[in-house]
Chain A
């Protein structure tokens, strides 16, 4: 089954404790993204990757890092989480192409105390 998986689905942590949210896709997609979803703001892109070893900032990259060492994986790293990073996070992937559909993971709800 074609899918994007994320782990963990839920995470409660404390300020400053480094964490990683994993993302994996099995569709051989070149393009992967991370979004955060906040009430009233919709989805905002954090980082994206056009292919292995190619990453770039989205609209809200501050406080986040990513890496793309393999095509299928695109982890999101919070080196020193803060309460304003409490949010619902989605990973997504797609092939290149103007109208290509993005496939989303199930989401990770993060709470930073």
Chain B
């Protein structure tokens, strides 16, 4: 079945550091790919998405590119802030199927 693998962390960075959270997937066909963020005590919120190969999703300084050849959707940000501390989930949805989530990566950004 479809699956998502991501680094579990925790990831601890200093403010203004560069962030990469790796995400790879296994799916039949061409799924849509998503990154969701969960701030402490809250539900998940969509951060960005991409629906086809080579699409780049971006939001709030975060970016991820749909790489079909490597089945990856790595999340990057050039300069993290303390307010970016959260849990980040990579997810996919194949056509006609339900969402499949990765285990989540906890990010802590220190001032």
Question: Which A residues lie at the B interface, using CB under 8 A?
Answer: 4, 33, 35, 40-45, 48, 58, 90, 92, 98-99, 101-102, 104-107
Judge whether B8 and A98 touch: CB under 8 Å: no
Across the interface, A101 reaches (CB within 8 A) one of B49, B89, B104, namely B49
Q: A43-B101, A45-B99, A99-B51 are in contact. Are A104 and B93 (CB under 8 A)?
A: no
- Chain B interface residue count, CB cutoff 8 Å, equals 22
Give the chain B neighbours of A44 by CB distance below 8 A.
101
Judge whether A40 and B8 touch: CB under 8 Å: yes
Question: Which B residues lie at the A interface, using CB under 8 A?
Answer: 4, 8, 32, 34, 36, 41-46, 49, 51, 89, 93, 95, 98-99, 101-104
A-B contacts at CB below 8 angstroms, number: 51
Judge whether B45 and A104 touch: CB under 8 Å: yes
Judge whether B51 and A4 touch: CB under 8 Å: no
Interchain Cβ contacts under 8 Å between A and B, 6 examples? A4-B43, A45-B98, A48-B98, A101-B34, A101-B49, A106-B43
Give the chain B neighbours of A45 by CB distance below 8 A.
98-99
CB distance from A99 to the nearest CB of B (A): 4
